């Protein structure tokens, strides 16, 4: 059985929010690379050792940036999927929440890198809430489409 999907006129907002994640990822990559170089942590080491990070603020900042980037990539697939699905029924809200998620992830990284684990909290909450809303909207949209 074929299903025809008609995209809402405002679906472009969802696509813009999705594209914003590409640039958020680039920010993470550049930030982590810059801090890797400053800290002297050589490839293939993913992180500075605990002993080094405790004594060297540059190594500690690198570890924080690296962890923030890893956390971003862990959440990227669900975020994009939720944006694309939720946007089928709620394109403006999905686009806004997706953009908020992307921006909050950049701010999370800045806070984490400059303030350590405590520096990530406020934007971590914002990104978690926006992603949760997107996941719930995507679930509701999928149920509506499946049982329509």
Q: What is the DSSP string of 86-108?
A: HTTT-HHHHHHHHHHHHHHHHHH
d(CA 63, CA 140): 38
Residue 12: enclosing H or E segment and its boundaries? helix 11-39
Is the model's pLDDT at 5 over the cut of 90? no
pLDDT band of residue 3 (cuts 50, 70, 90) is: confident
* Residue 137 and residue 94 in contact, taking contact as beta carbons nearer than 8 Å: yes
d(CA 120, CA 6): 39
d(CA 96, CA 15): 11
**Nearest CA-CA partner of 80 in 19, 18, 142:** 18
Interval 15-56: pLDDT, tens: 999 999 999 999 999 999 999 999 999 999 999 999 999 999
The answer to whether the peptide bond before residue 144 is cis (omega within 30 degrees of 0) is: no
d(CA 142, CA 36): 42
Interval 71-129: pLDDT, tens: 999 999 999 999 999 999 999 999 999 999 999 999 999 999 999 999 999 999 999 99
d(CA 145, CA 148): 5
pLDDT at 148: 84
Is the model's pLDDT at 145 over the cut of 80? yes
d(CA 95, CA 84): 9
Q: pLDDT averaged over the chain?
A: 96
84 SS3 class: helix
pLDDT band of residue 4 (cuts 50, 70, 90) is: confident
* Residue 88 and residue 8 in contact, taking contact as beta carbons nearer than 8 Å: yes
């Amino acid at each position: 059985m074929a299903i025809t999907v008609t995209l809402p006129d405002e679906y472009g907002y969802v696509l813009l929010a999705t594209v914003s994640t590409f640039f958020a990822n680039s920010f993470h990559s550049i930030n982590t690379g810059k801090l890797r170089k400053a800290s002297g942590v050589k490839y293939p080491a993913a992180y500075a050792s605990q002993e080094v990070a405790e004594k060297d603020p540059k190594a500690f900042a690198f570890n924080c940036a690296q962890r923030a980037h890893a956390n971003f990539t862990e959440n990227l697939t669900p975020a994009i999927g939720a944006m694309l699905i939720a946007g089928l029924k709620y394109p403006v809200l999905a686009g806004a929440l997706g953009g908020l998620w992307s921006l909050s992830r950049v701010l999370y990284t800045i806070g984490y890198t400059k303030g350590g684990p405590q520096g990530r909290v406020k934007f971590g909450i914002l990104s978690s809430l926006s992603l949760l809303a997107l996941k719930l909207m995507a679930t509701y949209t999928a149920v509506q489409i499946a049982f329509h």
